[in-house]
Amino acid sequence: MDLLRRTLRTGFAQVEALLDRVFPPTWQPLYHLGALAFFCLWIVFVSGLYVYAFFDTGTVDAFESVQNMSTSYWYHAGVMRSLHRYASDGMVLFMAAHLLREFSLDRYRGARWFTWVTGVVIIWLVYVSGITGYWLVWDELAQFVAIRTSELVDAIGIFGEPIARNFLTPGSLDDRFFSLMLFLHIAIPLILLMVMWIHLQRLTRPEINPPRGLAIAMLAAFVALALVMPATSQAPADLGRVLGRIGLDWYYLGTYPLADLIGPRGLLGLLGVITVILLALPVMPPMRRPPAATVNLEFCNGCERCVHDCPYEAVKLVPRTDGLPFEHEARVDPALCVSCGICTGACPTATPFRQRGRMIAGIELPHLALKDLRALTDKAAEGLAGDRRIIAIGCDHGVGLEGLGDQAVGVVRLPCTGMLPPSFIDYILSRDLADGVVLTGCAEEACQNRNGIAWTEARIEGGRDPHLRQRVPRERILRIWPGKTGEKALARAIEAFRADLPDQPSAKAVKRPAAQPRPVVADHE
Amino acid sequence: MNKPLKWLAQGLVLALIMVMIGFLANRPAYTNFPEDQAMIRLSFSHGGGRPDCHRRTPEELAALPPNMRAPMDCPRGRLPVLVELDLDGGPLFHALLPPGGLHGDGPSRVHQGFAVPPGTHTITARLRDSGRTDGFDYEREVTLDVAPRQNLVIDFKTDAGGFIVH
Ligand code: HEM
Ligand code: SF4
Ligand code: SF4
């Protein structure tokens, strides 16, 4: 499983790197797959409401009313109909890519199991929504959908009279079936919307809408597709004739032909097994779950910054319990915590300027507490030589840092770059641990922990507390987000950054010790 | 890459996504059933008889609690249904269909299609739903012309006198 995941990860990283050269990060479709799937749903809802006004139920009326949209009213109802179909297909495409990407990024287990499992429920709801939709057109494809779906449902074996017998002969079909399908086709998407909302409950500020530019471009592309390749009906359904060759929507019905090989029962079993595997993924080995963040009450003043910055709704503010003269204190729900450490980066008490004995922050990862963070930083500075020394701070998920460590560059690797309290940059530069600081990690808009990069940037820019002190020379800080495959770009950028570094006023005066052999990467593991 | 080139490439990527969506939404075509064949579908849901109902003697009745004194003692289960479908004298489908339901008290069901070359065919359908050990309770033979892609349904309903050919 891990091999599969890594292979996928590499694949995604390569395509992402390619697209990064073309798109600015906010436009990069692969970084907004969930939001794009959501966007498709909005298009589907709006266009669905529109075509509903033109739809009649009944064996004859249904076909004709849909056909009418594409002929008599092609320039509005026809376009809406095409949008309705293609956005539904787009939803499947983006959903599938989103699932694979979340899997490849290892974002399906630990505290994230809930988001994953609700995602699996979404898959079924999306499919039932789409399949009931095709039913309504009552053309040959609808006939195919009706017969194959009822055979599949009959294979469950809990319904008495086989549903497939409703589609035996032209006379056996009941108009009430259309009303039922229409009802399902409206009710299930609404349930889908509700489950999508549940899907996002464990994420703070989920990105529901894609960035505006991307959304507009995507909508334009869908409209173009609707005009170039309008969605049409196939021949009207005729239960007296067997279906021969038909056009198939492979996004929704791609599995149905498998029933020819393994029978409806086999297909049902296969879909069941796939669902169970997906549901079980979060509890399958290898299980590694680093400990959750903990609050050290003595150092917490209830300022709420960690609550705002945690991307996973894991920290809450609760009334003070220890008698200290503050109204509130932070409390972590370990079940929700993904151990990204971003809360430490948000806590104003997390500063390396503390006295040795009190090197404790209000909120910390037990396996990488404030004192460890400072020790890592000091270690990365050890043995750096020259007058253009760099400390590069990166993360476990983004660009590889292995190639970096040498006498000019020391490396600190964190679970997320967003874990770094900005005071550490001040510390490095003002204590002359190095002459420049490089902050790096995942690609912009693609932070493994969703907000790490954004918060890091905002803390330095001064837009978000705790912000980096004004006195810290910004020209000595390089922020670069090259993503997984950006090692070369990072090395080049660091080289250029070093060359451009202004001379330290003090650098000339101080004589530095000669370089010592030193560990290449100071690591938290 | 300069700006216009980037825009062009962005447009291309979006176009590629849309082509992927538009193409798979209706293509490649799928052959659900060979177009030069016809289909004979045997589909019915019919309950076999109950085995050996017997009329309770007055003594037996008296031994039962008053609210359960039904004159007939019938086991819950139904008999399996034996069905045979022959095409032009050769067997197409012969089966003993077990009763449905958890207690074997439901109807026997079949829903099975067979591809046959179009043309004139003689179809013989036989069914046994009683306890007899030999012969059939219902039989029907039809000779008819089937067209390519015709969906010929053979149903069974006791009310309608046995086999129905649609
Ligand atoms: C139409 C279907 C879906 C929509 C609209 C959707 C939407 C979203 C959105 C908007 C996010 C938040 C992204 C962010 O802010 O970073 C998200 C996260 C997530 N989705 Fe989906 N999703 C869908 C289906 C699925 C499926 C099928 C799965 C997997 C089975 C899945 C797994 C996840 C996971 C694991 C995350 C959390 C990522 C994290 O923890 O950082 N989603 N989804
Ligand atoms: S480590 Fe902190 S920021 Fe990250 S999920 Fe846990 S509580 Fe939230
Ligand atoms: S950021 Fe630190 S001080 Fe503020 S509430 Fe959270 S743990 Fe307490």
Q: What pLDDT is recorded for position B123?
A: 96
Q: Indicate which atom in ligand 2 lies nearest the CA of residue A309.
A: 3
The reply to whether B111 and B84 lie within a common domain is yes
Q: What's the domain count of chain B? A: 2
Q: How far apart are CA B147 and CA A60, in angstroms?
A: 24
Amino acid A505: pLDDT: 62
Which parts of B2-119 fold into alpha helices (H)? Answer: 3-24, 58-63
Atom from ligand 1 closest to the CA of residue A207: 15
B77 has a pLDDT exceeding 90: no
B121 shares a domain with B101? yes
In this prediction, residue A514 carries a pLDDT of 46
Q: Taking CB atoms and an 8 Å limit, are B43 and A168 in contact across chains? A: yes
pLDDT averaged over chain B? Answer: 91
A-chain residues near B17 (CB < 8 A): 29, 90, 93, 221
Nearest CA residue ID for atom 4, ligand 1: A34
Yes or no: say if A299 and A361 are a contact pair by the CB < 8 Å rule: yes
Measured CA distances, A12 to A19, A29, A91, A98 (Å) = 10, 12, 19, 11
Do B4 and B46 belong to one domain? no
Q: What is the mean pLDDT of residues B11-32?
A: 96
Please indicate if any CB of chain B lies within 8 Å of the CB of A217. yes
CA distances from A292 to A363, A367, A415 (A): 10, 9, 12
Asked whether residue B110 falls in the same domain as residue B134, the answer is yes
pTM: 0.91
Domain that holds residue B15: 1-30
| Ligand 3 centre distance from Cα of residue A202 (Å) | 20
Domain coordinates in residue numbering, chain A: 41-283, 294-523
pLDDT computed for residue A510 by the predictor: 45
Whether ligand 2 lies within 6 angstroms of the CB of A293 is answered as yes
Provide Rg for chain B, Cα atoms.
Answer: 28
Q: What per-residue confidence (pLDDT) applies to A406? A: 84
User: CATH number, domain at B123?
Assistant: 2.60.40
Is CATH 1.20.20.10 correct for A41-283?
Answer: no
Is B84 in the same domain as B22? no
CA distance A442 to A429: 24
Which stretches in chain A have pLDDT values below 50?
507-520, 522-523, 525
Phi-psi region of A74 (alpha: psi -120 to 50; beta: other; left: phi over 0): alpha
ipTM field: 0.89
> Is the residue at B110 inside a domain?
yes
The distance of A463 to chain B (nearest Cα, Å) reads 30
Q: Does residue B5 lie in a domain region?
A: yes
Per-residue pLDDT tens digits for A417-470: 999 999 999 999 999 999 999 999 999 999 999 999 999 999 999 989 999 999
Are B85 and B47 in a shared domain? yes
The reply to whether B46 and B124 lie within a common domain is yes
Residues B48 and B117 in one domain: yes
